[in-house]
Amino acid sequence: GEDVEQSLFLSVREGDSSVINCTYTDSSSTYLYWYKQEPGAGLQLLTYIFSNMDMKQDQRLTVLLNKKDKHLSLRIADTQTGDSAIYFCAESIESGGYNKLIFGAGTRLAVHP
Amino acid sequence: GAVVSQHPSRVICKSGTSVKIECRSLDFQATTMFWYRQFPKKSLMLMATSNEGSKATYEQGVEKDKFLINHASLTLSTLTVTSAHPEDSSFYICSASLLPGQGARNIQYFGAGTRLSVL
């Protein structure tokens, strides 16, 4: 079945690194994504990783993928108060000729001084 | 680039009325648009997938007569909540993916969402 799981809450101090973890079930997923949602807003694509990659770095963001364990993580270096938001992990499933996204429940990141 | 506009951002309506939500891709053509529903502090649930010029594909448990989807052009999809009731109150979000050849086809770009409150 299709299922994506994330821890629901993470609290970090400003300046520290944040690591948000995600597990997924469908081994045929071609892409995995991280989206950010601020209160009352839509989803902003942060980054994505192709399933044949182990790591992707983009400025303060580092994505690690362990395909064997179906584990995805997002590391935010030097976390700032503006990073406070909900972070959604999503896997891409091919269905009927298009790619359907299956989202986790979201991890609420709280950054405190 | 890849901006998706959703309108209105918020709507309050009386029970029994119909509400139309628009989703537009502003700077790209979208072969496929998706409609999601998000409950408070919950994840996004895919309601339906719409392709330009064809009927939408609804997820299991989503009433197609209740949630009418029209995708008349490569830049516009609409979701109409017919005969809305309080239990339809929710946050509705659309997304759009690029045409083949325009970039990573698997990427979905999201609108800002519409908060529907049915009294």
Average pLDDT of the residues in B56-73: 92
- The Cα of B12 is separated from the nearest Cα of chain A by a number of Å equal to 15
* C-beta separation of A23 from A73 below 8 A: no
CA-nearest of A32, A1, A24, A19 to A74 is A19
In angstroms and rounded to an integer, the radius of gyration of the C-alpha atoms of chain B is 14
Collapsing DSSP states into helix, strand and coil, what is residue A25?
coil
Supply the mean pLDDT for chain B: 89
Q: Do B51 and A98 touch (CB under 8 A)?
A: yes
* Residue of chain A whose Cα is closest to the Cα of B34: A100
Q: Is the pLDDT higher at A93 or at B57?
A: B57
Rounded CA-CA distance A32/A15 in Å is: 27
Q: Over 80: is that where the pLDDT of B10 sits?
A: yes
- Asked whether the predicted pLDDT for residue B80 surpasses 70, the reply is yes
Which residue, B48, B43, B84, is CA-closest to B69? B48
Determine contact: A99 vs chain B, CB below 8 A. yes
Q: How confident is residue B51, by pLDDT bands cut at 50, 70 and 90?
A: confident
- CA A106, distance to chain mean position in Å, is 8
pLDDT of residue B98: 75
pLDDT mean values, one per 10 residues, chain A (113 residues): 85 97 86 91 90 93 95 97 95 76 93 94
Subunit contact B112:A42, Cβ cutoff 8 A: yes
What residues of chain B have any CB closer than 8 angstroms to a CB in chain A?
4, 6, 32, 34, 42-44, 46, 49, 51, 57, 93, 95, 97, 104-113, 115
Paired strand residues for B117: B12
Nearest to B49 among A42, A92, A98 (CB): A98
pLDDT of res. B99: 61
Interface touch B44/A105, C-beta < 8 Å: no
The residue behind tokens 């997924």 is A24
pLDDT of residue B102: 52
As a whole number, mean pLDDT of residues B2-20 equals 95
Residues 6+ apart with CB under 8 A from B118: B12, B13, B14, B15, B84, B85, B86, B87, B88, B89
- Residue with the larger pLDDT of the pair B105 and A45: A45
Residues of B in contact with A31 (CB under 8 A): 104, 106
pLDDT for residue B1 = 67
Q: How confident is the model at residue B17 (pLDDT cuts 50, 70, 90)?
A: very high
Q: Which of A69, A85, A67, A81 is nearest to A20 (CA)?
A: A85
DSSP 8-state class, residue B42? S
In this structure, the strands spanning B90-98 and B76-81 are unpaired
Do β-strands B108-110 and B90-98 pair in parallel, antiparallel, or remain unpaired?
A: antiparallel
Helical spans, DSSP H, in A2-105: none
Indicate the pLDDT class of residue B21, thresholds 50, 70 and 90: very high
How confident is the model at residue A1, as a pLDDT?
Answer: 54
